[in-house]
């Protein structure tokens, strides 16, 4: 019995591995057949679960909707890893010796200014681009040689890239049909409920609103239960009001389906509010990876600090406007304060935006509570901050 | 603005009325009259010219013209679609390849058709080359065959298939192709389920143009098909010249136009987007 089990495990591991490399239904069916051969049902389930945990097997009946009560935890292991990946284009180096690990179950954001290489990094993972050097690994196995249709990674495109000649339902079925999936109707129904599109499945993309189109794009990618979902600026095509709402929805959706999301965006607020982990890219390189708190409060470089929010830079450190304080009289405490002149004071609704020139020559910006007082341009004030709010970062070589 | 719009229409509309509708009207009237001994038309008015059309001889020619047009259109599509796809994916060499497609128009169609005669005849380039390499001992009969006619038609009208298809492919969002691959579609699947359906307007437009041109072709079958009246265009020409039967020629022309409209109107109507 022991021997038989071990054989089964070996066979399953082999088949599951083969299945991962090529999305072949035939092989998946063979896996299922093997599972049927195993008589003990509990043992079968245990095996299934362990395979899933190992990322070796993706069973079609698993994540979508079913496990909504289970909270999705970020795992220690990486779904996707870039190892010293470089991608050169004729004119420039888009991705320059980048190493990156995306933890299983996480909502991971890759952020940076436009042209920093973040979209190229995404395209390398999806398989639309081939790296010039380095390796892309999916579940620990190199996938550099696999075409996009051979990778169990799906993408929500920036413009959604919905097939205009197909209805929402046909768009969602597209991937399932290519994989020869069974139970297409059930899978589509589940995912339609998940993205709240039930009843609209027979419309064509041009008959839908931007938000609806985005949800079709999400459903189309999620229904394949990918190892990793890539989202390329998914909110940029939505109007600003909708954007904030969709952020929260997307985050909740990720937790429910328990699929790793890689979000590419240039919007730091979006990244901060949604992600478990953030990598900041600049000029083809990753400057810092960490939790939103880490990178906002403890940026590794001046670029990261400035990219995530405004900073008042002094010689050897920087202070964020929201931690910069202004008093009309000397704070008279142990902390240092700097005499300054108010340049302008702007009412922003939730706070007051004050620009002041220190006597030392620096200009600082402070966001102060609305109910404090109203400052006048030209008024003499004292600028100060808690020493713990100083971000000590060396100046970068130009 | 609306007035400007009408003024934009005026030149082409008046030209069409003058040079197309009025002659069509004249042809329609001729088709109802009686032939004169040396050409021309005379009273009385009659429907006899249309009655003669059901003669199996003429129906055969009509059918053959239709068949040649369908075959030529199919070959043009089979050659033109891949070519258009190739050009649309040629990056910065696109314009060069497009120019190559259009270059033949720099020379008169007549001259180019004569060139084909030199290629295809018994002592032509193809037969000479095949004989020289010892592949054949007797020259192949290429010229004055249906084969020659179809080669000539395909050659002459291929650009009219390539250009509209290219236009739709060029307009197609490239990310759709990536999306298909992303969702697991192999290249052939992507071609059949995304690229071809989305270029349908171009395929329809190209096919309609090529079919119309081939169905009514006169020069190509005349030169490459030999002296025989092979296609309906030759038959019409023959009625106005050698046969001196203008009314019957006029009736044939109208029937040709009518058949084309019957075949193409449903095709054009079924489209969801503009032709190009």
For position B64, which CATH number holds? 1.10.3720.10
Q: Nearest CA of chain B to the CA of A202: how many Å?
A: 17
What pLDDT is recorded for position A146? 93
Residue B55 lies in a domain: yes
Interchain contact, B180 vs A174, CB within 8 Å: yes
Which residues in chain B have Cβ-Cβ distances shorter than 8 Å to A157? 175, 178-179
| Nearest CA distance, B82 vs chain A (angstrom) | 21
B73 in a structural domain: yes
pTM over 0.90? The answer is: no
Residues of chain A in contact with residue B184, where contact means CB-CB under 8 angstroms, are: 23, 149, 175, 178-179, 224
**Cβ within 8 Å, pair B183-A221:** yes
Q: What are phi and psi of B71, to 5 degrees?
A: -65, -45
Task: Identify the residue among B179, B180, B193, B272 best suited for mutation to test binding to A, counting A beta carbons within 10 A and taking the highest.
Answer: B179
Which residues of chain B, if any, have pLDDT below 50? 273-276
Q: Do B183 and A163 touch (CB under 8 A)?
A: no
To the nearest whole Å, the CA of B181 is away from the closest chain A CA by 5
Nearest in space to A74 (alpha carbons), one of A290, A255, A228: A255
Give the one of B185, B194, B198 whose C-beta lies nearest to A149's C-beta: B185
Q: Does residue B158 belong to the interface with chain A, where contact is any CB pair within 8 Å? A: no
Q: Can you say whether the dihedral through the CA atoms of A204, A206, A209, A213 is positive or negative?
A: positive
**Can the peptide bond before residue B44 be classed as cis, meaning omega within 30 degrees of 0?**
yes
Cβ contact B197–A178 (<8 Å): no
Q: Which residues of A touch B (CB under 8 A)?
A: 23, 126-128, 147-149, 153-155, 157, 159, 161-165, 174-175, 178-179, 220-221, 224
Q: Answer yes or no: is B38 within a domain.
A: no
Find the radius of gyration of the CA atoms of chain A: 26
Residues from chain B that touch A127, judged by Cβ atoms under 8 A, are 181
Q: Across the interface, which of A147, A159, A224 has its CB nearest the CB of B181?
A: A147
Contact status, residue B229 vs residue B122, Cβ threshold 8 Å:
no
B175: contact with A, CB 8 A cutoff: yes
How far apart CA A235 and CA A210 sit, in angstroms, is 10
Distance of alpha carbon A279 from alpha carbon A294, whole angstroms: 11
Q: Please judge whether B176 and A163 are an interchain contact, meaning their C-beta atoms are less than 8 angstroms apart.
A: yes
Q: Torsion angle of alpha carbons A290, A291, A292, A297, nearest 10°? A: -70
Cβ neighbours of A68 (radius 10 Å)? 13
> In chain B, which residues have their Cβ closer than 8 Å to the Cβ of A128?
178, 181-182
**Torsional class of A127: left (φ above 0), alpha (ψ -120 to 50), beta (otherwise):** left
| pLDDT averages per 10-residue partition of chain A, 398 residues | 50 48 53 49 46 44 43 81 95 94 95 94 95 94 92 95 96 95 93 92 94 95 95 89 88 92 94 95 95 94 93 89 86 78 89 91 89 79 89 77
Phi/psi of residue A365, nearest 5 degrees = -120, 135
Q: Which residues of B touch A159 (CB under 8 A)?
A: 173, 175
CA nearest to B178 within chain A: A128
Q: Is residue B12 domain-resident? A: no
Specify if B233 maps to a domain. Answer: yes
How many cross-chain Cβ pairs, A to B, lie less than 8 Å apart? Answer: 61
Closest partner residue to A157 (CB to CB) among B175, B189, B200 is B175
Q: How far apart are the CA of B199 and the nearest CA of chain A, in angstroms?
A: 10
**Interchain CB distance below 8 Å, A127 and B184:** no
Longest CA pairwise span in chain B (Å): 73
Query: A155 and A30 in contact (C-beta within 8 Å)?
Result: no
Number of domains in chain B: 1
- Residue B185 at interface with chain A, using a CB cutoff of 8 Å: yes
* DSSP state at residue B20: I
Q: What is the dihedral of CA B44, B47, B50, B51, to 10 degrees?
A: -110
A93: helix, strand or coil: strand
Whether B197 contacts chain A with CB within 8 A: yes
Rounded to the nearest angstrom, the minimum Cα separation between A67 and chain B is 24
Give how far Cα A91 sits from Cα of A87, A88, A197, A289, Å.
11, 8, 43, 27
Closest by CA position to B214, among listed B258, B146, B150, B125: B150
Q: Which of A156, A178, A222 to mutate to test the interface with B (most CBs of B within 10 A)?
A: A178
**Is residue B21 assigned to a domain?**
no
**A23 vs B contacts (CB less than 8 Å):** 184
Query: How many Å lie between the alpha carbon of B237 and the closest alpha carbon of chain A?
Result: 45
Check residue A398 and give its pLDDT: 55
Query: Best interface-test mutation with A: which of B177, B182, B202 has the largest number of A CBs within 10 A?
Result: B182
Domain region containing B150: 44-268
Domain contains B27: no
- Name the DSSP letter for residue A67: T
Determine the residue of chain B that is closest to A223 in CA distance: B183
- Rounded to the nearest angstrom, the minimum Cα separation between B121 and chain A is 48
Considering only alpha carbons, which residue of chain A is nearest residue B190?
A178
Is position B71 within any domain? yes
* ipTM of the modeled complex: 0.80
> For residue B33, what are its two tokens?
């009259």
């Amino acid at each position: 019995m022991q021997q038989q089990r071990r054989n089964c495990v070996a066979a399953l591991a082999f088949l599951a591995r083969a299945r991962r490399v090529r999305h072949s239904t035939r092989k998946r069916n063979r896996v299922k057949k093997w599972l049927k051969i195993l008589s003990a049902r509990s043992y079968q389930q245990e095996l299934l679960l362990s395979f899933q945990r190992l990322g070796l097997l993706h069973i079609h009946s698993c994540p979508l909707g079913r496990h909504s009560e289970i909270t999705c935890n970020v795992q220690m292991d990486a779904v996707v890893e870039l190892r010293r990946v470089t991608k050169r284009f004729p004119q420039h180096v888009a991705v320059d010796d980048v190493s990156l690990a995306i933890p299983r179950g996480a909502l991971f954001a890759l952020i940076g200014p436009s042209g920093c290489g973040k979209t190229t990094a995404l395209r390398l993972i999806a398989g639309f681009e081939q790296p010039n050097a380095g390796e892309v690994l999916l579940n620990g196995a190199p996938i550099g040689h696999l075409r996009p249709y051979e990778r169990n990674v799906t993408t929500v495109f920036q413009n959604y890239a919905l097939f205009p000649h197909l209805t929402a339902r046909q768009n969602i079925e597209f991937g399932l049909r290519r994989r020869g999936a069974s139970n297409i109707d059930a899978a589509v129904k589940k995912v339609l409920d998940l993205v709240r599109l039930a009843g609209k499945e027979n419309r064509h993309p041009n008959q839908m609103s931007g938000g609806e189109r985005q949800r079709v794009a999400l459903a189309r990618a999620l229904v394949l239960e990918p190892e990793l979902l890539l989202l390329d600026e998914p909110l940029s095509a939505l109007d600003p009001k909708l954007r904030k709402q969709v952020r929260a929805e997307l985050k909740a959706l990720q937790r429910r389906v328990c699929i790793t999301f890689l979000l590419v965006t240039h919007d730091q607020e979006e990244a901060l509010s949604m992600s478990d982990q953030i990598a900041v890219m600049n000029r083809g390189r990753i400057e810092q990876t960490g939790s939103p708190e880490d990178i906002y409060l403890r940026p590794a470089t001046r670029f990261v600090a400035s990219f995530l929010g405004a900073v008042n830079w002094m010689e050897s450190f920087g202070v964020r406007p929201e931690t910069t304080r202004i008093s009309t009289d000397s704070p008279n405490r142990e902390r240092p304060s700097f005499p300054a002149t108010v340049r302008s004071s702007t009412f922003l609704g939730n706070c007051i935006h004050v620009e002041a020139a220190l006597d030392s020559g620096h200009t600082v910006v402070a966001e102060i509570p609305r109910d404090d007082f109203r400052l006048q341009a030209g008024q003499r004030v004292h600028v100060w901050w808690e020493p713990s709010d100083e971000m000590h970062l060396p100046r970068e070589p130009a | 603005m609306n007035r400007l719009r009408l003024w934009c229409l005026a030149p082409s509309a008046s030209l069409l009325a003058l040079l197309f509708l009025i002659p069509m009207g004249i042809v329609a009237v001729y088709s109802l009259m009686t032939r004169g001994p040396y050409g021309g038309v005379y009273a009385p008015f009659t429907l006899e010219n249309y009655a003669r059309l059901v003669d199996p001889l003429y129906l055969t020619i009509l059918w053959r013209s239709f068949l040649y047009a369908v075959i030529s259109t199919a070959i043009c599509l089979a050659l033109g679609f891949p070519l258009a796809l190739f050009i649309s994916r040629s990056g910065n060499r696109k314009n060069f390849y497009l120019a190559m497609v259009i270059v033949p128009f720099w020379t008169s169609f007549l001259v180019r058709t004569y060139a084909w005669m030199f290629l295809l005849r018994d002592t032509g380039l193809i037969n000479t080359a095949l004989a020289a390499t010892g592949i054949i001992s007797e020259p192949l009969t290429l010229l004055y065959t249906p084969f020659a006619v179809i080669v000539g038609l395909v050659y002459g009208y291929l650009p009219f298939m390539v250009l509209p298809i290219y236009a739709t492919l060029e307009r197609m969002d490239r990310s759709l192709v990536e999306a298909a691959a992303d969702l697991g579609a192999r290249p052939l699947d992507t071609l059949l389920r995304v690229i071809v359906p989305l270029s349908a307007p171009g395929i329809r437009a190209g096919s309609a143009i090529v079919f119309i041109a081939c169905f009514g072709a006169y020069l190509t079958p005349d030169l490459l098909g030999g002296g025989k009246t092979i296609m309906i265009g030759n038959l019409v020409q023959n009625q106005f010249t050698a046969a001196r039967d203008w009314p019957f020629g006029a009736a044939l022309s109208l029937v040709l136009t009518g058949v084309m409209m019957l075949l193409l109107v449903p095709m054009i109507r079924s489209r969801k987007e503009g032709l190009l």
